[in-house]
Structure 1
């Protein structure tokens, strides 16, 4: 319509958790640009139709997202998608160039809005050559028709000729034949004054013929308009019905989607709880078995440590205060740590068990009268930080401690025997020295 208040617009869409929507009119002026979290198709449609008449939906990626395809189908307009998805640098360049014309858009900092605006501008640029052709062609016609409506038709897929023909018919029906005829008569009058040599009778006949043609065309157009009006009423009724059905369906889809999401989350939570319950049941079963073994005297609990350090010394001291001397399992033997803490923790330990590969360092520990046994010969079960050992470990540790003490006694005896021999040797040397000195004195006297 000639007094159309809402502009024809190209709409850029960037869907996601936050959906960016931007629109420009067919002369490149911005209409609106915003983003909103969780916006669905019906809300986007309401936003678009509030500000203008959509002629195309544009996206910055190829292929177009499903949200964009369904939106375009719902409002009955074509989709523009670039030959290849626009890069971040290309979108930034498009928006920066555009904001030079409209500085107020520089305040837009949302990436979704920028992407949507870049898509709309790109779509407009693609159709700029056709827009200029429309402007040039309509300027030559010299009639008052809605140029933007022609541009909108061309963008929707019509040829320029088809779009202009529709606009002329719409203009004739909208402003009335009387206004059109007045313009025609005025134009013919100007021509008559410019060409006074023409015969007045011929001019009148030509005008009458033109008026008759226009009247006939007007009657045909009015009849066609009545038919189209009736079709439009039927279509509007169907559209309202479909809109109601669509809204109900959309609300159902939203509720179904929400419930489906809740069910999925609950199922995942149930599976997680089942898995945790299974693990806890297995751990409980192992703990029950360990409890029975310890209670029946068939197993001895031992604390498992990686190696001796400050933290493990504190742990051993705490347990010893509560339970007395304990058995410990160590994965490795650190001579430096044992030299620092061996004297203090030897009073806390009944025995230490180590893997076979660490057994060659047992002397480091046994130097503090703590028996060391191979872990592989006694291990029954492992439970987190504990190791259950065969009941034999106490008796074998006792015998191993006896062996350590006997070995130390033998070493002390050997040390004493060696000292006696050394003392006798020193006495012999002293006695021999005295005899030699006495012999020397006698020889000097003679």
Structure 2
């Protein structure tokens, strides 16, 4: 990557918009790309320089922005609220090279990120040091470093010591301020330098891991697309057959379970009916016993009522018999014979019918 530090604005989507600013807010690059994903955006940004901040125009930041910032191991900026269309159009009017809404949104994101860090960047750029160190200083400040500590780290780096310009002499003729440090301060600076080197190494490792993650994600996406295209062909047929076999086996298990439950239900029904009959018989027996007990309490003997009824019937029959004998005695012999003949004829006619 070029040794040029940038503020990057990005608008994610199928068509990705990209914009690059320098630390003074000047627009250096505007571009858009279709269907190339995050890898295409990374390739373009690496061709422009080294990002110090990734910005978007919405809040919260989309996953694309967080992944892009993680890849370059930098912070990302998102506004407190979503930028309005009027604000973005107003910014785009100042730049004739804006080709579409994606580039406009990326430009607006970068401009708002620069404005949010404008005072910090101006303070760093006002330092009386070499231009290359100024750029690195702004880069570290946007990373979250304290300005003075970042400046001391950069001044202690051997490759930058030659580039550090001396501050102007004081008006009273005194010698310029000495840059010597006490032993404790030098030790602290060395520790900070070691930490910075460790962070740089971790950043390189993180960058390689992010590249690997991106390649694996793309490979996974291709496999998903391949699987989707195969669903309608032989693969889809195999899947349907496998699903059919699973459903058939499940249906057979359910039918066996239904038969088993039906047998259990029949056994329970038989037990219930037999128990119900026994219960009815026991209930009837209890009722009879209760009736007998009540009769005994009243002083009645068993079967007494039946014997009395039989006696009455016999007495009535005897009365009827005595009546018939009396009637027969009152009749003449000729009348008796005639009546007997009539009775015989009636019986014969009934038999013939």
Partner of residue 37 from structure 2, selected from 37, 40, 61: 40
Partner of 1:167: 151
| 1:392-420: CA deviation from partner (whole Å, max 9, x where unpaired) | xxxxxxxxxxxxxxxxxxxxxxxxxxxxx
Bigger relative CO (Cα 8 Å, ≥ 6 apart): 2
Unaligned runs of 5+ in 1: 100-105, 196-202, 271-446
- In the superposition, the TM-score normalised over structure 2's length comes to 0.54
The CA deviation at 1:183 is 4.3
The CA distance in 1 between the partners of 2:195 and 2:142, in whole Å, is 26
Alignment pair present for 1:131 and 2:121: yes
**CA shift in 2, pair 1:219/1:73, >3 Å:** closer
Which residue number in structure 2 is paired with residue 280 of structure 1? none
1:118 aligns with 2:115: no
Q: Deviations over 1:194-216 (max 9, x none)?
A: 26xxxxxxx8xx99xx5764788
Q: Assess if the C-alpha contact under 8 Å between 2:124 and 2:147 holds in 1.
A: no
CA distance, structure 2, for counterparts of residue 227 and residue 150 of structure 1: 16
Query: Which sections of structure 2, spanning at least 5 residues, go unmatched?
Result: 238-353
Relative to total residues, which structure has the larger strand share, 1 or 2? Answer: 1
**Higher deviation after alignment, 55-64 or 142-151:** 142-151
Show the counterpart of 1:249.
216
Matches within 5 A, 1:184-333: 194=173, 213=181, 221=189, 225=193, 229=197, 231=198, 235=202, 238-239=205-206, 242-243=209-210, 245-262=212-229
Kindly provide the CA deviation profile for residues 277-323 of structure 1, in whole angstroms up to 9, marking residues without a partner as x.
Answer: xxxxxxxxxxxxxxxxxxxxxxxxxxxxxxxxxxxxxxxxxxxxxxx
Q: Report the Cα distance in structure 1 between the residues aligned to 2:35 and 2:107, rounded to whole angstroms.
A: 19
> Could you say which structure has the larger radius of gyration?
2
> How far apart are the structure 2 equivalents of 1:118 and 1:49?
21
Q: Which residue of 1 aligns with 2:135?
A: 148
CA distance in 2 between partners of 1:85 and 1:266 (Å): 45
The residue correspondences of 1:371-390 to structure 2 (distance < 5 A) are none
Q: Deviations over 1:245-297 (max 9, x none)?
A: 32541332232342254357879x99xxxxxxxxxxxxxxxxxxxxxxxxxxx
- Conserved 8 A contact 1:10-1:26: yes
Superposed CA RMSD in Å reads 3.9
Question: 1:49 offset after TM fit, Å?
Answer: 2.1
How far apart are 1:135 and its partner, in Å? 4.0
